[in-house]
Amino acid sequence: MRDHPIPAVTEPLQYRAIGVVRGIFRPESEDQPTRGHLVDADGQEIEAVVLGRMLTLMRRHLEMSQPHLWVVYPRCREAGQLHLQIAGIWEPSTLAATQDDGEALDPSVDQLPEGDDYFSIRGELIYTKPESSELVIKVRQLPRADGFKPLPFKLQLSGDVELAHLRHFVSLDVRRQGQALQVESFEVIAPMPTRGGKGRGGASRRGGAGAGARNRPARNG
């Protein structure tokens, strides 16, 4: 079992958008069990959908009337409204007990050092307006196993990133605040290549991360 729901970055220019949100998932209806809302401790409702085999896990092993720490992929389909894709759950104490030879674990293993509502977002800074704390990150995705190539998506964030970093690849630590994603810290990894294949000047960075790897689409993780 992994010791963290968000995998370590393996390449400097690795795209991704992934986070953890604690809440109760409430489906829209019995006919639409994979669509609904995550309701946090403050009663904030966030639009959400359940991906893959999570529905089976939820039905068989989770007490759905209780809050859980969900592993999610964020999307911003409408201004001021967050949308989450539920891809997993971070609850080692519960999941270990579901295995045939599993032993109960101390609930303290469910806590993350970053805390709840943390997101790791990595991509191209395509818009920034520091005076109003607005920025937009473009995230690319890897082709699927069937050959389908998903289109890049954009995430609207709140935070102050200098205009000089526009068109650079950035890594951001983000915290959900209601329906908004607030940047807590960021690191400029490298300038994005132009159409001719050359960068836009020397690499600008914050925190000493290296540059020079090829652009790698997101695995959402």
CATH number for the domain that contains residue 78: 2.40.50.500
Which one-letter DSSP state was computed for residue 92? H
Query: Looking at the domain assignment, is residue 138 inside a domain?
Result: yes
What are the residues facing 23 on neighbouring strands? 68
Is it the case that residue 11 has pLDDT exceeding 50?
yes
Q: Quick one: pLDDT at residue 180?
A: 96
pLDDT given at position 98 = 57
Is 113 buried (19+), middle (13-18) or exposed (0-12) by CB count in 10 A?
Answer: exposed
- pLDDT tens figures, 16-38: 999 999 999 999 998 999 999 99
E strand or H helix at 21: strand 16-27
State how many domains the chain has. Answer: 2
Give the per-residue pLDDT at 80: 84
Q: How far apart are the first and last CA of the chain?
A: 16
Q: Is 206 a residue whose pLDDT tops 50? A: no
113 and 123 housed in the same domain: no
Cβ(123)–Cβ(218) under 8 Å?
A: yes
- Measured over the CA atoms of residue 8, residue 13, residue 15 and residue 21, the dihedral's sign is positive
> If you write DSSP's letter for every residue of 102-161 in order, what string do you get?
-----GGGG--TT-TTEEEEEEEEEEEEGGGTEEEEEE-BPPPTTS--PPPEEEEEES--
Q: Residue 174: is its pLDDT beyond 70?
A: yes
Q: Is residue 186 part of a domain?
A: yes
More confident residue, 42 or 104: 42
11 within some domain: no
For residues 99 and 144, state if they share a domain.
no
Provide the pLDDT for residue 212. 33
The whole-number pLDDT of residue 202 equals 42
Question: Do 109 and 167 belong to one domain?
Answer: no
C-alpha 99/C-alpha 107 separation (Å) is: 16
Same domain, 22 and 110: yes
Check whether 204 has a pLDDT greater than 50.
no
Tokens of 220: 């959402």
Residue 99 belongs to what domain range? 16-117
More confident residue, 217 or 110: 110
The residue with greater pLDDT, 195 or 102, is 195
Residue 199 · residue 169 · CB < 8 Å: no
Looking at the structure, do residues 165 and 100 belong to the same domain, yes or no? no
Of the given ranges (37-46, 85-94, 98-107), which has the lowest mean pLDDT? Answer: 98-107
Statement: residue 192 has pLDDT above 80: yes
Q: What is the pLDDT of residues 122-161, one digit of tens each?
A: 999 999 999 999 999 999 998 888 888 889 999 999 999 9
Is residue 20 domain-shared with residue 45, that is, in the same domain? yes
What is the C-alpha separation between 174 and 123, in angstroms, rounded?
Answer: 13
Q: Is the pLDDT of residue 194 over 80?
A: no
**Same domain, yes or no: 37 and 126:** no
Residues 110 and 135 occupy one common structural domain: no
Higher pLDDT pick, 76 / 110: 76
- Contact, 153 vs 139, CB < 8 A? yes
DSSP, res 215 = P
